[in-house]
């Protein structure tokens, strides 16, 4: 079977050696023909008069909805779904922290410093650590559960104040986030809102709550429970899978769901069970965004976390190595294609959240109160799987896939600390032109923008060649690290100025902030640099790209980026081209409202040209050109 291209050549070689196995790489070839009405966003199937499709000869649906209404409605509905996913994550994360504070599950607080910072931000005066954790969690939950007509309080506490004032002026400050999602679904239903501008502003509103709560706060709450990121070197790729261990692959986004499992797998009792079964112990293999989060905090879990193997579309191949004994999933990026590969390689699948329930997975609902029993069940299933499958499945783990020296654990805090406790070093390098600008290359991996991770890797290489430092978060990071761009040796691919900076600091030109949730950390970096310069975020020589955005969550991320006032590049249009009003608003008019704009460009060199020009224009405006 033919397969689509990947920037990761070793991955392609491996998949080609498994010619009998069907994966997403094969199905992409079978799905090359795309529906033009879908790609333009002009298909509507909200009522039984349809599905209606807009054409020059049929410019309106049966109800009278035109292309502008249909495209805006589809876009807002997608952003609402993506926002709901992130809000689900932060809600569960806050509930987990609250239950730890209440003493359920007998789990420790890993970072009191992170807890204290949040308590100070929320103006919580409390000495007892556990009570403080409960009050911090309650603050988040109370905001999430407000009705839409009550504004969320923590936005003002966490957002960069010049941005907050812009959002307030535009009347896009969110009310209770879950209510906002609910009403966005109402608004986009049959025969309701038909104003495309109103719906686009609503998308920005959802982007704000997505970014502040689903992205930023999820990270900060996880820091409390799981420990703060520390910069270190680590292994990535297939080589992290050690067949001498019982390997549990984790997929999803909810790191706090496995906090007890991480702790108990290194106990002597559990290790002895593995030894009795013929293994050296247990290992957690990171895959998808939760794997990136494990990697981000890997300094705290070196004994049990073996490393990050790959992103969403690498996960099928990871199972096909035969070295994985159990899959534990708790959220999305767990693609349906894993199910058939798991059956082929006799790998049991467990699911910890019903929103991510797979048809052949056993469902074990997660709760902090029952974490000991849940971890026991996972360990038992991993042991049984190891014993049942190892003699009947061939193991083929390419030892040359991946790298041993990827720099991980980068966050707003660890990077600031590395630079001496403030951002003056970065500001000085920017002022001197040794770093021309900063680009956030973030988001998903898909198979359509040139192939698996192709657009992401090509654009990143072009940017660093132009002395633009790249910060990455999301499945994009998994692709970039597996091809070596997050290893110090990648400095050789950078422009002369950036190469000198990287070699002097011992860092790569692409810094790994971890999961897609860490897009919230990039906002914190931008806000802190803007604060030191005394400017708003749109003034910074900073651009954003999600070249291979995949799903609705990415569109919610994009709405946050546009609300922040950032130019946002994508290689594939977000299904808006059928509407002149929506396209013009996002690409042009929005600049005058938030400072943000959408740039759609599939060619990586042309995209880099445009992003570089934006950076140079902003440098000139700051007087540092």
Same domain for 344 and 199 = no
Q: What is the pLDDT of residues 550-588, one digit of tens each?
A: 999 999 999 999 999 999 999 999 999 999 999 999 999
Q: Residue 372 class from Cβ within 10 Å (0-12 exposed, 13-18 middle, 19+ buried)? A: middle
**99: domain CATH number?**
1.20.1270.30
**pLDDT the model gives residue 29:** 86
Could you tell me the pTM of the whole model? 0.96
**pLDDT the model gives residue 65:** 97
Assign residue 128 a region (left: φ > 0; alpha: ψ between -120 and 50; beta: otherwise): beta
Please state the φ and ψ torsions of residue 47, each to the nearest 5 degrees.
-140, 170
CA distance 564 to 159: 10
Q: What is the pLDDT of residues 37-95, one digit of tens each?
A: 999 999 999 999 999 999 999 999 999 999 999 999 999 999 999 999 999 999 999 99
Q: What CA–CA distances, in Å, run from 448 to 28, 333, 451, 520, 569? A: 8, 16, 5, 26, 16
Please state the φ and ψ torsions of residue 158, each to the nearest 5 degrees.
-105, -25
CA distance 556 to 51: 25
Q: Which domain holds residue 331?
A: 238-389
CA distance 317 to 11: 8
Q: What is the pLDDT of residues 239-271, one digit of tens each?
A: 999 999 999 999 999 999 999 999 999 999 999
Closest CA to 241 of 90, 402, 360: 402
**pLDDT the model gives residue 2:** 83
Closest CA to 307 of 219, 395, 387, 233: 233
CA distance 550 to 276: 43
b/e burial code for range 274-309 (CB count within 10 A of at least 16 → b): beeeebebbbbbbbbbbbbbbbbbbbbbeebbbbbb
Same domain for 314 and 202 = no
Same domain for 590 and 467 = yes
| Three-class DSSP category at 98 | helix
Q: How many domains does the chain have?
A: 3
CA distance 595 to 544: 13
Cβ atoms 60, 565 nearer than 8 A: no
Biggest CA pair distance of the chain: 72
Q: What CA–CA distances, in Å, run from 422 to 115, 483, 522, 532? A: 21, 31, 15, 9
How many of the other CB atoms lie within 10 Å of CB of 552?
A: 19
Counting as low any pLDDT under 50, the low residues of the chain are none
Among residues 204, 226, 248, which one ends one of the domains? 226
Domain presence at residue 119: yes
Same domain for 443 and 380 = no
Among residues 389, 420, 453, which one ends one of the domains? 389
Among residues 198, 226, 254, which one ends one of the domains? 226
**pLDDT the model gives residue 372:** 95
Domain presence at residue 140: yes
b/e burial code for range 89-114 (CB count within 10 A of at least 16 → b): bbbbbbbbbbbbbeeebebebbbeeb
**pLDDT the model gives residue 439:** 98
Same domain for 336 and 265 = yes
CA distance 408 to 127: 33
Domain presence at residue 57: no
* Local structure of residue 353 (DSSP, 8 states): S
Same domain for 177 and 86 = yes
Same domain for 425 and 330 = no
Domain presence at residue 37: no
CA distance 510 to 529: 18
HSE-up (13 A, CA, CB side) for residue 153: 12
The count of residues in the chain is 625
**pLDDT the model gives residue 332:** 86
Domain presence at residue 145: yes
Same domain for 246 and 220 = no
**pLDDT the model gives residue 105:** 87
Joined tokens for residue 262: 């991480």
CA distance 61 to 592: 32
CA distance 297 to 309: 15
Same domain for 444 and 377 = no
Domain presence at residue 400: no
Radius of gyration (C-alpha) of the chain in whole angstroms: 23
Domain presence at residue 29: no
Same domain for 270 and 165 = no
Domain presence at residue 17: no
Same domain for 365 and 482 = no
**467: domain CATH number?**
3.40.50.2030
Same domain for 372 and 331 = yes
């Amino acid at each position: 079977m033919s397969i689509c291209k990947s920037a990761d050549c070793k991955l392609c070689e491996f998949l080609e050696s498994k010619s009998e196995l069907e994966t997403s790489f094969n199905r992409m070839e079978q799905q090359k023909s795309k529906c033009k009405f879908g790609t333009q966003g002009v298909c509507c199937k909200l009522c039984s008069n349809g599905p209606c499709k807009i054409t020059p000869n049929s410019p309106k649906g049966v109800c009278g909805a035109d292309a502008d209404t249909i495209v805006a409605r589809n876009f807002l509905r997608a952003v609402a779904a993506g926002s709901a996913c992130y809000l689900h994550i932060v809600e569960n994360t806050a509930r987990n922290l609250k239950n730890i504070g209440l003493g359920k599950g007998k789990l420790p607080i890993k970072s009191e410093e992170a807890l204290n910072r949040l308590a100070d931000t929320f103006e919580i005066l409390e000495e007892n650590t556990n009570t403080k954790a409960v009050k911090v969690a309650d603050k988040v939950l109370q905001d999430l559960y407000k009705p839409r007509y009550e504004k969320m309080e923590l936005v003002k506490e966490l957002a960069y104040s010049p941005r907050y004032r812009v959002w307030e002026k535009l009347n896009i400050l969110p009310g209770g986030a879950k209510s906002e999602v609910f009403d966005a679904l109402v608004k986009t239903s049959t025969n309701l809102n038909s104003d495309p501008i109103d719906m686009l502003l609503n998308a920005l509103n959802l982007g704000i709550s997505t970014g502040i709560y689903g992205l930023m706060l999820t990270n900060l709450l996880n820091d409390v429970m799981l420990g703060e990121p520390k910069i270190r070197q680590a292994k990535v790729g297939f080589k992290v899978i050690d067949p001498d261990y019982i390997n549990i692959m984790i997929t999803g986004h909810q790191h706090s769901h496995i906090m007890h499992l991480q702790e108990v797998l290194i106990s002597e009792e559990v290790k002895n069970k593995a030894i009795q079964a013929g293994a050296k112990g247990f290992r957690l293999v990171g895959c998808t965004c939760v794997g990136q989060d494990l990697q981000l905090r890997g300094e705290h879990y070196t004994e049990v976390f073996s490393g990050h193997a790959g992103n969403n579309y690498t996960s099928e191949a990871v199972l096909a190595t035969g070295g994985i004994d159990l899959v534990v999933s708790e959220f999305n990026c767990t693609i349906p294609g894993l199910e058939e590969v798991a059956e082929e390689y006799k790998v049991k699948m467990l699911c910890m959240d019903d929103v991510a329930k797979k048809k052949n997975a056993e469902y074990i609902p997660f709760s902090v109160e029952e974490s000991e029993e849940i971890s026991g069940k996972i360990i038992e299933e991993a042991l049984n799987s190891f014993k049942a499958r190892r003699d009947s499945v061939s193991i083929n783990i390419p030892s040359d896939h991946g790298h041993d020296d990827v720099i991980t654990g980068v966050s707003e805090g660890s990077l600031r600390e590395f630079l001496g406790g403030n951002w003056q070093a970065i500001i000085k390098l920017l002022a001197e032109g040794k770093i021309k600008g900063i680009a956030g290359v973030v988001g998903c991996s898909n198979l359509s923008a040139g192939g698996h991770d192709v657009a992401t890797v090509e654009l990143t290489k072009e940017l660093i060649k132009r002395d633009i430092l790249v910060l990455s978060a999301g499945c994009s990071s998994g692709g970039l690290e597996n091809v070596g761009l997050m290893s110090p040796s990648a400095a050789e691919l950078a422009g002369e100025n950036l190469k000198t900076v990287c070699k002097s600091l011992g860092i790569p030109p692409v810094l790994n902030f971890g999961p897609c949730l860490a897009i919230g950390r990039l906002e914190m970096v931008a806000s802190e640099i803007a604060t030191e310069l005394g400017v708003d975020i749109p003034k910074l020589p900073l651009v954003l790209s999600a070249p291979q955005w995949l799903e609705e969550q990415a569109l919610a991320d994009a709405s946050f980026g546009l609300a922040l006032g950032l130019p946002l590049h994508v290689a594939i249009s977000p299904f808006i081209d059928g509407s002149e009003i929506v396209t013009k608003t996002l690409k042009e008019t929005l600049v005058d409202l938030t400072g943000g704009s959408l740039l759609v460009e599939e060619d990586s060199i042309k995209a880099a040209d445009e992003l570089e020009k934006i950076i140079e224009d902003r440098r000139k405006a700051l007087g540092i050109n």
